[in-house]
């Protein structure tokens, strides 16, 4: 049997695609999910304090608003519940094949369909393949010598060991990114000593988190009330925060808030110096927290900035020769984010492999979604569609709308294939590269937004609103109808989508 659409992944993006397909009356689709549950990062990240630092009314589907969010910034259990509710309300759960890991997908040019292989050796077929595997799904561990020699308990923040009790232990944390900033305040009061190994000091802006009271709840029962909140946060992200990642003047407001928070929450000048960033605001993800600095200021917390040289059986050794003994080591070291679609093998026309051929210099896709020579393949939350300033759900919804429009085009024109032209792809990349050069991500800091060679493969450099406009519908010039037309257009045929 050949499905119309196969979706890989049942997280925020995959569920969005599935719900919208169902709403559009497309019945022939299957969602493949390697785990036993849906939810993506909100299933995997269960560390204490896990939550979203984007406000709930913006970090949710536009078509599934909720009046009863408990607080401004929802925690992981509430987000996972939301996704379960959405899947159930729209009847998606029976369409998900759990415990089904897709290891490879190859385009069959003769049959004009994708063949998917699963880890247990089965094959499935679909005309259109939509990948929805996220950017932050594979934990990255530090590669220090001796990592495996550590005799205590060790785990990654995205694979939190809930069977292990940290009470009264000496605990080490490597990493001070958005995940660590959320769990450090939760574990600091519990442990005897917390040693935080910081490689870079980050910019931390106030979160001003609060629980919604009766007045808010009454407001959110009206569409206008919900929209006002959603619109307000959206506008803040696309103006003030966007300015911050462009090095603009409005971004100075955020920098002021960060500096003021550091000054007021960290009275000790030596600790304050350690926590002062040495790169421009926005170069790495801006952290959003009210309780991170107070946790670091506790008597039982040490911030260690000496370079780590090795992991020993008893703890961590730093460049000054000190061995910092630990009972437990927590890796808050992030994810292999630039390795898009890994470890799947995706094979397009003429046996071309996505990672080895098309992406040899780093992942790239037209509007973050499609690649020449890979017909009927669409990526959700693909290359250069992450945001440092707004909710990625907005990007995902724009992509889903675009893909539905591509399906409509196929139905309307009797086409079996949608394949972006190489010229549209190249023109888009040129514009994208120019725009990326004007952002602070290129300002010399390291981050998960970039490959080892410094190419920014993850972030969208413009406003979310601009992406929405560009993805309104597929332009016929970008998708020439016949395969043999694929190279017929000249670069002059395209002014480029940006």
Question: Of the two residues 74 and 362, which places its CB atom closer to ligand NAP in the complex?
Answer: 74
Among 30, 243, 312, 333, binds ligand NAP (CB under 6 A): 333
Question: What is the DSSP secondary structure assignment for residue 404, as one 8-state letter?
Answer: H
- What x/- string results for residues 11 through 40 when contact with ligand NAP is judged by CB under 6 A? ------------------------------
Question: CA 274, CA 295: separation in Å to the nearest integer?
Answer: 15
N-terminal to C-terminal alpha carbon distance within the chain: 39
CA 485 from centre of chain:
35
Strand 113-118 and strand 315-318: the pairing is unpaired
Question: CA 424, CA 454: separation in Å to the nearest integer?
Answer: 24
Is 330 an interacting residue with respect to ligand NAP (CB under 6 A)? no
Is 375 an interacting residue with respect to ligand NAP (CB under 6 A)? no
Residues 6+ positions from 266 with CB-CB distance below 8 Å = 272, 275, 293, 296, 297
Is 179 an interacting residue with respect to ligand NAP (CB under 6 A)? yes
Is 176 an interacting residue with respect to ligand NAP (CB under 6 A)? yes
Question: Of the two residues 364 and 393, which places its CB atom closer to ligand NAP in the complex?
Answer: 393
Is 137 an interacting residue with respect to ligand NAP (CB under 6 A)? no
Among 27, 221, 446, 485, binds ligand NAP (CB under 6 A): 446
Stretch that binds ligand NAP, among 114-122, 231-239, 326-334, 468-476 (CB under 6 A): 326-334
Stretch that binds ligand NAP, among 171-179, 209-217, 355-363, 403-411 (CB under 6 A): 171-179
Among 53, 101, 255, 302, binds ligand NAP (CB under 6 A): 53
Is 336 an interacting residue with respect to ligand NAP (CB under 6 A)? no
Residues 6+ positions from 176 with CB-CB distance below 8 Å = 184, 196, 198, 199, 200, 201, 202, 332
> Residues 352, 353, 356, 360: is their CA dihedral positive or negative?
positive
CA 77 from centre of chain:
18
Question: Of the two residues 75 and 426, which places its CB atom closer to ligand NAP in the complex?
Answer: 75
Is 199 an interacting residue with respect to ligand NAP (CB under 6 A)? yes
**Short-list 307, 15, 282, CA closest to 142:** 307
Nearest distance, CB of residue 168 and ligand NAP, angstroms? 26
Stretch that binds ligand NAP, among 46-54, 100-108, 290-298, 309-317 (CB under 6 A): 46-54
Is 206 an interacting residue with respect to ligand NAP (CB under 6 A)? no
Residues 6+ positions from 433 with CB-CB distance below 8 Å = none
Paired tokens of 442: 């290129």
Site residues, ligand NAP (CB under 6 A): 51-54, 136, 142, 174-180, 182, 199-200, 284-285, 308, 332-335, 446, 448
């Amino acid at each position: 049997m050949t499905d119309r659409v196969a979706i890989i992944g049942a997280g925020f993006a995959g569920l969005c695609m599935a719900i919208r397909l169902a709403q559009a009356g497309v019945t022939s689709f299957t969602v493949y999910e390697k785990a036993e549950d849906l939810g993506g990062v909100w299933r995997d990240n269960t560390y204490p304090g896990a939550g979203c630092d984007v406000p709930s009314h913006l970090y949710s589907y536009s078509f599934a608003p909720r009046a009863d969010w408990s607080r401004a910034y929802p925690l992981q259990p509430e987000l996972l519940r939301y996704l379960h509710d959405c899947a159930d309300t729209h009847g998606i759960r029976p369409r998900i094949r759990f415990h089904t890991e897709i290891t490879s997908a190859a385009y069959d040019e003769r049959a004009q369909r994708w063949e998917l292989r699963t880890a247990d050796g089965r094959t499935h077929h679909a005309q259109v393949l939509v990948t929805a595997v996220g950017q932050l799904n594979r934990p990255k561990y530090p590669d220090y010598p001796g990592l495996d020699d550590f005799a205590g308990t060790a785990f990654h923040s995205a694979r939190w060991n809930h069977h292990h009790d940290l009470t009264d232990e000496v605990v080490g944390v490597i990493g001070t990114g958005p995940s660590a900033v959320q769990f450090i305040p939760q574990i600091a009061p519990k442990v005897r000593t917390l040693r935080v190994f910081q490689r870079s000091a980050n910019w931390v802006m106030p979160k001003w988190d609060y629980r919604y009271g009766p007045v808010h709840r009454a407001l959110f029962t009206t569409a206008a009330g919900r929209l006002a909140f959603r619109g307000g946060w959206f506008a803040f992200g696309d103006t003030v925060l966007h300015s911050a990642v462009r090095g603009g003047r409005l971004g100075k407001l955020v920098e002021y808030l960060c500096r003021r928070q550091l000054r007021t929450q960290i009275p000790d000048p030596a600790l304050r110096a350690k926590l002062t960033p040495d790169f421009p605001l926005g170069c790495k993800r801006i952290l959003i927290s009210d309780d991170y600095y107070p946790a670091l200021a506790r008597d039982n917390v040490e911030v260690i900035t000496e370079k780590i040289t090795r992991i020993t059986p008893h703890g961590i050794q730093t460049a000054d020769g000190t061995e910092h003994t630990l009972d437990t080591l927590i890796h808050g070291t992030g994810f292999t984010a630039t390795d898009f679609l890994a470890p799947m093998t995706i094979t397009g026309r003429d046996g071309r492999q996505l990672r080895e051929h098309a992406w040899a210099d780093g992942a790239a896709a037209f509007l973050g979604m499609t690649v020449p020579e890979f017909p009927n393949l669409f990526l959700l939350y693909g290359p250069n569609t992450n945001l440092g300033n707004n909710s990625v759900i907005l990007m995902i919804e724009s992509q889903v709308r675009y893909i539905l429009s591509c399906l409509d085009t196929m139905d309307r024109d009797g086409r079996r294939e949608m394949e972006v032209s190489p010229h549209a792809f190249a023109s888009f990349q040129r514009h994208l590269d120019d725009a990326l050069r004007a952002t602070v991500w290129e300002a010399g800091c390291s981050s998960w937004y970039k490959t080892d060679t410094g190419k920014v493969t993850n972030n969208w450099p413009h406003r979310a609103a601009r992406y929405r406009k560009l993805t309104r519908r597929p332009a016929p010039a970008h998708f020439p109808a016949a395969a043999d037309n694929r190279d017929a257009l000249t670069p002059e045929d395209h002014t480029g989508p940006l």
